[in-house]
Amino acid sequence: MRVAASTTMIRPPSDVLRDAVAAAVMAPSSHNTQPWRFHIAGATLDLFADPARRLYAIDPESRQQVQSCGCALYNARVAVRAMGFEDEVTVMLVDGDQPHHLASLHLGALHIPDELDHMRIEAIGNRHTNRRAFVRAPVPPEDIEALVAEAACEGATLARLDPDQKTALAQLIDEADRMHLANRGYRAELERWLATPGSLRRDGIPFVEKEYGSHLPFTVHRAVEAQDFARSVGALEQQLVIDAPVVAVIATQSDDPAAWLASGQALEAVLLRATALGLSAAFLDQVLEVPELRARVASLVPGIGYPQMVVRIGLAAEPIRRAAPRRSVADVLD
């Protein structure tokens, strides 16, 4: 998708912004809930959190929902720049009349897309969350530096964990999985967002992409309710962390909705650069869903601030069987 700035002058702003929404819906989100809605008014695209898609048991503070919307906002910004306009963003979050209004993206002055713009827009369609094991091969230091720089550009810190920190984090993730899956409400919400094979739904995580998954549709409920489910999931996630070439924490210096939105944009910036470098990534945010464990993650990297996401990064060991489905532009655009 390479559009010169001169070709955008004859396009109505609504067409440009509709294409920006098409890029936004490709963003990752917690449990692939895709918890966003958009509205176009003139040359402005408004972003809203969709309360109907909030995870009340998994994400009681809506931190992950706002962060997911930040990922979508970043994709929309990338698309706007690739189509030849500056991306002017106003963070809302304080509108009492519209409490779910997170941000507005306005088409700014004409902009000539550069190589980074082209790289990012092409990476949007190629990026997929890879929840399986990675090849045990090191990631080049210059690639890690590029990821750190992407996060910094969006006001966040990406800190790579050393082997001892990884081991400690793996134990915390195991603890988080066991704690969560002992909660019936948490299990029920998780089950709701696991998509069975053959499902026509346009959201949720394909169950087959979970390493504890199966090709049999009736096993979703059986697996989640199995007596040893928490133990097996915790052990699996723990090993994935230990074996990952890179495990990193994305953090911000404040911990409010504006910081959550910024961390989502930083996360997507990192993911798109990783994709362009041929790398895959997966999320480990369950450990940040428990305040006590989140504080312990922060203590692993003194001075990092507030952890907003944990990611593991590396080369995919095998292709993704089924990419997470996506809702259409018509589904999310008012």
Q: What per-residue confidence (pLDDT) applies to 3?
A: 44
Q: Specify whether the CB–CB gap between 263 and 308 falls below 8 A.
A: yes
Question: Do 114 and 145 lie in a common domain?
Answer: no
pLDDT of residue 323: 82
d(CA 117, CA 265): 15
Q: What DSSP element (H or E) covers 49?
A: strand 44-49
Q: Are residues 167 and 302 in the same domain?
A: yes
Write the DSSP assignment of 200-261 as a string of letters. Answer: --SSSEEGGGSTT--S-TTHHHHHHH-TTHHHHHHHHHHHHHHH-SEEEEEEES--SHHHHH
What residue type is 173 in one-letter code? I
Q: Tell whether 275 and 180 lie within a shared domain.
A: yes
Task: Specify the pLDDT at position 196.
Answer: 80
- Does one domain contain both 227 and 300? yes
Segment 157-184 mean pLDDT: 93
* pLDDT recorded at residue 7: 47
Verify that 98 and 173 share a domain, yes or no.
no
Give Cα 235 to chain centroid, integer Å.
Answer: 23
> Could you read off the pLDDT of 33-55 as tens digits, one per residue?
999 999 999 999 999 999 999 99
Percentage of the chain modeled with pLDDT above 70: 88
Residue type, 93: L
Residue 334 forms part of a structural domain? no
What is the rounded CA–CA span in Å between residue 17 and residue 218? 41
| Pair 103, 239 in one domain | no
Q: Biggest alpha carbon distance in the chain? A: 61
Asked whether residue 330 is assigned to any structural domain, the reply reads no
For residue 199, the model assigns a pLDDT of 82
Q: How many domains does the chain have?
A: 2
Distance CA 331, CA 334 (A): 8
Say how far apart CA 194 and CA 207 lie, in whole Å.
5
Please give the pLDDT value at position 124: 98
- DSSP code of residue 83: T
For residues 273 and 94, the model is more confident at 273
Cα of first residue to Cα of last residue in the chain, in angstroms, is: 25
Of the residues 126, 161, 189, which one is the last residue of a structural domain?
Answer: 126
Give a yes or no: residue 321 inside a domain: no
Q: DSSP 3-state assignment of 323?
A: coil
Task: Assess whether pLDDT exceeds 80 at residue 190.
Answer: yes
| Domain's final residue, options 101, 126, 151 | 126
Is there a single domain that holds both residue 179 and residue 310?
yes
Question: Domain for residue 327, yes or no?
Answer: no
> Please, is 257 exposed, middle or buried when counting C-beta atoms within 10 Å of its C-beta (0-12, 13-18, 19+)?
buried
pLDDT tens-digit series, residues 48-84: 999 999 999 999 999 999 999 999 999 999 999 999 9
The answer to whether position 229 is within a domain reads: yes
Q: Is residue 25 part of a domain?
A: yes
Asked if residue 37 lies in contact with residue 92, where contact means CB atoms within 8 angstroms, the answer is no
Phi-psi region of 32 (alpha: psi -120 to 50; beta: other; left: phi over 0): left
Residue 175 identity (one-letter amino acid): E
Is residue 5 helix, strand or coil? helix
Which of the listed residues 98, 126, 154 is the one where a domain comes to its end?
126
Kindly state whether residues 73 and 117 are assigned to the same domain: yes
Helix, strand, or coil here: 149? helix
What DSSP designation does 333 have? B
pLDDT average, residue stretch 242-262: 96
Instruction: Specify whether 265 is located in the same domain as 195.
Output: yes
**Confidence at 224, pLDDT banded by 50, 70, 90:** low
According to the model, what pLDDT value does residue 5 have? Answer: 42
Q: Which domain holds residue 308?
A: 141-314
Task: State whether 209 and 121 are in the same domain.
Answer: no
Q: What is the pLDDT of residue 231?
A: 65
CATH at residue 78 = 3.40.109.10
CA torsion through residues 26, 29, 31, 35, sign: negative
Judge if 92 and 156 occupy the same domain: no
Does the pLDDT value for residue 252 go beyond 90? Answer: yes
Q: Is the pLDDT of residue 235 over 80?
A: no
Position 219 scores a pLDDT of: 58
Are 105 and 146 within one domain?
A: no
Cβ-contact 45, 88 below 8 angstroms: no
Residue 323, in any domain of the structure: no
DSSP SS3 for 172? helix
- Confirm whether 131 is domain-assigned: no
Report pLDDT for 1: 45
CB 133 within 8 A of CB 240: yes
